[in-house]
Amino acid sequence: MGEDLIEEHSKELIEEALKEEHKKERWLLWVSLATTFMAVMGGIINMQSEVYVTKTIVAKNDAVLIQNKATDMWNYYQAKDMRYHMYQIASYIKPSDKFQKSIEKYKTQKSDIMKKAQKLEEEVKQKTIESEHYYHKHHLFMLSEMLMQIGIAIASVSALTRKKLFFYISLGSSILGFIVFLYNIL
């Protein structure tokens, strides 16, 4: 009779151990799925980060090209301004209708050129602001990606140590990273 009790008690212990092991395996499945999700999100976030770094470079490049055009336009303005002043001096030394017509012509040209140069300078400012905006978004994507990577690393520690606390910390990190991602997208 005593052997039956021992055998029955042993079976109960084995069943409890198997149930506990099954729970751990199921928990490890959740850790694996969560880690996979974090890795996929990390890839998507990285792709978005690269898109915005490219947009940053393109906008900054456009700003430089437009600035070159603006500089050329200001140089052209200076050339017209020099001619304008030369004709003013010539008109002062020897008044002439021919000189007055040239003065008026260069005065009008200078005004048109100045407006074009100022417009280009405004475009440079806009492209620079656009570039800075994209660069800021790129940094937020990098922060989001870093939080996802931290989540993956801590989830791995959780799986190795079989400590749920680490898993919850990894979820917290990846959720925070996902929130930063959503904020940056919207």
Res. 6: pLDDT tops 80: no
Report the domain count for the chain.
1
Asked if residue 11 belongs to a domain, the reply is: no
Instruction: Provide the whole-model pTM.
Output: 0.77
Phi, psi of 94, deg, nearest 5: -140, 95
Q: What is the pLDDT of residue 20?
A: 74
Neighbours of 166 (CB within 10 A): 19
Within 10 angstroms of residue 85's Cβ, the number of other Cβ atoms is: 12
According to the model, what pLDDT value does residue 9 have?
65
Distances (CA, A) of 54 to 51, 130, 148, 157: 5, 12, 22, 35
Three-state SS sequence of 32-58: HHHHHHHHHHHHHHHHHHHHHHHHHHH
Cα–Cα distance between 145 and 38 in angstroms, integer?
Answer: 9
- The separation between CA 90 and the C-alpha centre of its own chain, rounded to angstroms, equals 58
Instruction: With cut-offs at 50, 70 and 90, classify the pLDDT of residue 109.
Output: very high
Per-residue pLDDT band for 18 (boundaries 50, 70, 90) equals: low
What integer is the mean pLDDT of 2-16? 68
Write out the two tokens for 52: 């915005």
Place of tokens 């008109």: 91
For 40, the domain range is 33-185
Tell me which DSSP letter residue 94 carries: S
- Residue 13's pLDDT is 66
Q: How confident is the model at residue 25 (pLDDT cuts 50, 70, 90)?
A: confident
What is the predicted pLDDT for the residue at 2? 60
- Over the chain, what is the mean pLDDT? 91
In a domain, 88, yes or no: yes
133 is a domain residue: yes
Q: Specify the residue for token string 């050339």.
A: 79
Q: How far apart are CA 27 and CA 80, in angstroms?
A: 78
* Cα-trace Rg, the chain: 36
Does a structural domain hold residue 98?
Answer: yes
Do the domain assignments include residue 81? yes
Percent of the chain with pLDDT over 70: 90
167 to 100, 132, 161, 163, 178: CA distances (angstroms): 84, 37, 10, 7, 16
**Residue 15 located in a structural domain:** no
Structural domain contains residue 47: yes
pLDDT for 162 beyond 60? yes
Q: Which band of pLDDT confidence, cut at 50, 70 and 90, is reported for residue 11?
A: low
Residue 87: the pLDDT is 92
Segment 5-18 shows an average pLDDT of: 68
Query: Is 66 among the domain residues?
Result: yes
